[in-house]
Chains A and B, each alone.
Chain A
Amino acid sequence: MNQSREFLSLARRQALQLGLGTAGGLLVPGLFADLARAAEAPIGTWPAGVAGDSVFVGVTSPLTGPYSADGKDHVKGYELAFAEINEGGANAKAWGLKGKGVLGKQIKYGVADSELKPNVAVQAQTQFIQRDKAIMITGCVSSAEAVAVEELAQRDHVLNMVGASGANATTGRDCQRYGFRSQPSAYMACKALAPVVAQHYGRDKKVAYLVPDYNYGHSVFRSFSEFTKPYGWTTVAKVVIPLVTSDYSSALLNIANSGADIFVNIEFAAQAVNSTKQGAQFGIFKKMQMIVPNISSFQGQETGPALMQGVFGTMDWYWKLEDKFPLSKRFVNAFRAKFHYTPAWGAHVGYIQTYIWALAVERAGTFYPPAVIKTLEASKANPFESTLGKVWYRAEDHQMIRPVPVVVANSAKQMKNKDDVFDIVDLVPGEQAVSPPAFLGCKLGPYT
């Protein structure tokens, strides 16, 4: 009762502002939509979070720990998108946003270090929700964080545009009505990659896997072994290692002794670089070819072309997509101008997720979370034009249907400059790579 009276007075105040002409013309449609929803019960941080002339977005990302390089890059993607949207310049217009901000409201945001720990991420996002009335929460570089924040989003009814997360569970077993993921799932990545590597290396290969012992590692192992099975590829070693491993000698001895032709390295970020380097010391690459199903943002540069050359893998996005998608070109140019280096896919995840959210809010005409969710769920009929071309979210599990870039690393000789680390060998359409709906066991929760 009290709440609804508060909301009515809030609505009156907004109407008054409108009458005084302080609100820009572009604010009008959004405002009316939110006014028309006066009948809706408050939910999560709505409408409290949209009462002022700005909305708050909570960003968590690992700024320390082994994924910190990816985490910092990730945050820069958000910062660029927020700045562009707030400014309402050429890039925001190119995406199809109107005016400055989202529905005329400026985006304010907070960034917190998740330390790669799910509980720390949840704690920080809880604070953003309670203290800052965050209308959207986002960001992460591991599926463990992703799933934990998604659960919080569902419980507190705050929209969550998931950050970088490749595990199947994020839009599978642990999916949530309030969570949306743009990165390809392990399933999509491996399904896109398998035919390419099978064609390159041939049939009937023996494969050894290095599997980090968490959700993501096991997801990738299952998906990759499944999709290469039709080509006669068999698993001869599955070496599961603790998440924080520094000395890989004992794991690598198992792989060196496995008699495999192919070494699938599922480690990520600093761990991937470290295990590859030690793998070379054990002479593994003299006997086997490495494949990295999901190549982390800086893995190519940090490992160096001597060890990376010829390695196949997938990634969320690569800067060379600028040749194909005009919005990618805009992203690369703006990012280079602001941060003085070429963005990696971690930054891209932050960037595209922010824009898609803003577009969905403007399309819905309101920040009211269930309406934004329904708009995203209905996007198949009306896909968003993005840095990856036309993309949409699947209603059944909130996985973004988007093309999956399959890449191969260049040798030092092939590299034209220091950014020329990979070539895109295939861009597999999302519809072709994605799992059948409900295959990964997703049951979305309620809207309210």
Chain B
Amino acid sequence: MPSTALLLSQAFNGLALGTLLALVASGLTIILGTLGVLNFAHGALFMLGAYAMYVVMAHTGSWLLGLLAGGVFMLVVGVALERLLVRLFYQRPHEDQILVTFGAGIVIVEAVRAYFGGNTKSVPTPPWGQGIVRLGFLFYPTYRLELIGIVAAVLFALYLLLYRTSIGLVVRAGIEDARMVGVLGINVRRAFLAVFALGVLAAGVAGMLYAPIVSVQPDMGGSFLVEAFVVIVIGGLGSYPGAVVGGLIAGEIISLTSAFNTAYSEVMLFAVMALLLVLRPQGLFGSEGRV
């Protein structure tokens, strides 16, 4: 039995891990919920964000500039991806959408590998995030601690954009009946473009924020993609609050299981997902037949 101190440490880490997972999952769920497209390139876009941060940090050393320039870059990538590829697949079956985004993901990963090589890149922690904070019995990296706040702010901004603005209203109406919204003289296609770009931006920002923590490498997105899927299945496919709560739950499952045996942390995550699929197939916040 692990000590109380370790259990509490892991519970706290679960919260930190959970907010990051929520951010990774949010982009995935926004696109799925509004456009009905399961974006398999999400992991690759996460990685692309991390590389954007790496490039800017390597040249300017500024974290803030990395976030801003990287953000603009991710929006451009999102717009290009939607206009040139994904848009053509809105009316196609889900399998086609999965295949085309999966393929796009492979192309992005291999393009990055061809340009930057397969070696890991190191992104320095910004000066204000260096060091370790002592929280009673627990020592925790300063940057990870600050990330909890940063991620919470990003998630809240996304929430306001989706639920408290007219764009969000159009988007949500568009999912219900795109044709009707069109008849009302509203450009649904442009709203869809905005949503896709926003989802890509969320993936990219998650990658940028994660870059100083992990080592940046072309395949880094793979495991995050898998975990993001689990998160949105738990939270409910396409549900934004579901992604946030699902992320926190997933973070706690991984962390608390680790206190006993790290080897089972992922197994436990999948076990909970399977159990949930049996008891509540639509997930915690999902509504039946939404996607």
Interface string of B238-277 (1 = CB under 8 A from A): 0000000000000000110011011101100000000000
Complex Cα distance A176/B202, Å? Answer: 50
B207 to nearest A CB, angstroms?
11
Complex Cα distance A277/B215, Å? Answer: 7
Interface string of A64-89 (1 = CB under 8 A from B): 11101101100000000000000000
**B77 at interface by CB-CB < 8 Å:** no
CB-contact partner of A249 in B3, B17, B110, B132, under 8 A: B17
A448 to nearest B CB, angstroms?
40
Residues on B with C-beta less than 8 A from A249 are: 13, 16-17, 144, 255
Residues on B with C-beta less than 8 A from A63 are: 118
**A254 at interface by CB-CB < 8 Å:** yes
Interface string of A233-247 (1 = CB under 8 A from B): 000000111101111
B263:A241 contact, CB within 8 angstroms: yes
B263:A302 contact, CB within 8 angstroms: no
Complex Cα distance A283/B135, Å? Answer: 14
A273:B262 contact, CB within 8 angstroms: no
A244:B258 contact, CB within 8 angstroms: no
B15 to nearest A CB, angstroms?
11
CB-contact partner of B220 in A68, A246, A250, under 8 A: A246
Complex Cα distance A304/B215, Å? Answer: 12
Range of interface residues on B (Cβ < 8 Å): 35 or more
B residues 83-121 in Cβ contact with A at 8 Å? 109-110, 113, 117-120
Residues on B with C-beta less than 8 A from A66 are: 217, 219
B261:A240 contact, CB within 8 angstroms: yes
Residues on A with C-beta less than 8 A from B265 are: 242, 250
A256:B139 contact, CB within 8 angstroms: yes
**B173 at interface by CB-CB < 8 Å:** no
User: Which residue on chain A has the smallest CB distance to residue B220?
Assistant: A246
A208 to nearest B CB, angstroms?
12
B139:A283 contact, CB within 8 angstroms: yes
Complex Cα distance A298/B121, Å? Answer: 12
By a beta-carbon cutoff of 8 Å, the part of chain A in contact with chain B is 63-66, 68-69, 71-72, 213, 239-242, 244-247, 249-251, 253-254, 256-257, 270, 273-274, 277-278, 281-283, 298, 302, 304
- What are the 5 tightest A-B residue pairs by CB atom distance, in nearest-first order? A68-B118, A250-B258, A240-B263, A281-B141, A274-B215
By a beta-carbon cutoff of 8 Å, the part of chain B in contact with chain A is 3, 5-6, 9-10, 13-14, 16-17, 20, 109-110, 113, 117-120, 122, 125, 132, 139-141, 143-144, 213-215, 217-220, 222-224, 254-255, 258-259, 261-263, 265-266
